[in-house]
Structure formats: structure tokens, C-alpha cells
Amino acid sequence: MLWSCTAADFNVEAITWKTYSNSRYGFEFPYPSNWNSLAGPENDDGIGLISPQNKTVEIRGWASHQLVNSIDKGLQSGKKIQPNFQTVQGVSGVLVVEVDRQATSMTLTLTHNQVQYYWQGRSNSQEFPNYYRLFYYIAQQYRIPKS
């Protein structure tokens, strides 16, 4: 029932934004400036951020090199998922919303030059409709290096 996942009070202009830029993989995305960052991994492949109002609401962005063998296996098995989403930058990817009783997540996956880029927004399932538009907006703004 994604059509009911709208937050009437979401206003992009009313939010003060910061931009996370990843030094290792070069991706970036905006996030509300009052969100708190979690301890990042030592390899600098991404970041996690949590809402100051609700510690169960988080956004994450990360990337990893795609192994050549996994690319070949995916093509051979026919399991390649067709893109269903496009960022403002014009990059096509796959956006999936996974719902279970406790938590719901929205995950964006982009693949470019043998690197897989990910972004995820997550909250408890009852509150997800309140964050859907925020998560969707951030996913649209996700940027990767296009060299």
C-alpha cells in the first residue's frame, strides 16, 4: 500500500540540509542537518545517520566494488533486476521498499563502473508513512561520480 505512504507535512524548503560526501567512492546525498552520524567503518565505504527525534529512524549510504565473477554469474542466471528509478542526476537504478511487521526500508541500488552504490532509509513499519517522502526525496538526490 505505498500509495498511502505520504507525509502531508514534508516540505523540502523547510528543512536545513547538509551533504554527505564519501571520499573513497565519491558518492553524495543530502540529509537533514540535525541528524546525528553513527560511527563509520574504518574503510570509509559509507555512513549511517539517525534522527534526533527517533533513534529507530536511520539513513545509510555506502558503496562497494562489484566483483567480476558476481557480474558474470548475475548475467548468466538472468537475475538482473530491471531499473525502476532514476535519480535527478539521470542515473538509473533499482528502488525497493521492503516491509515487515517491525521495520520498513527503502533501498536504492545504483551500479556504475563496477561499483555498487547503495542508499537506504529505514524506520519502524508504523512510522514509515511519515518518512516515505523524505526518504524518496533523498534517494532522488543521491549522486555518484560519472567518469
Does any domain span residue 54? yes
**Position 62 pLDDT exceeds 70:** yes
What pLDDT score does 131 carry? 95
Query: Per-residue confidence at 39, pLDDT binned at 50, 70, 90?
Result: confident
- Check which CATH number belongs to the domain holding 87 and give it: 3.40.1000.10
Does any domain span residue 60? yes
Helix (H) or strand (E) holding 82: none
DSSP 54: -
Q: What is the tally of structural domains in the chain? A: 1
Q: What is the pTM of this model?
A: 0.85
Comparing 29 with 39, the larger pLDDT belongs to 29
Which residues neighbour 17 within 8 Å (Cβ) at sequence distance 6 or greater? 30, 31, 32, 33
Containing structural domain, residue 52: 16-141
CA distance readout (Å), 68 to 3, 71, 73:
38, 5, 9
**Position 4 pLDDT exceeds 70:** no
Does any domain span residue 2? no
Q: From CA 117, how far away is CA 26, in angstroms rounded?
A: 10
Does any domain span residue 10? no
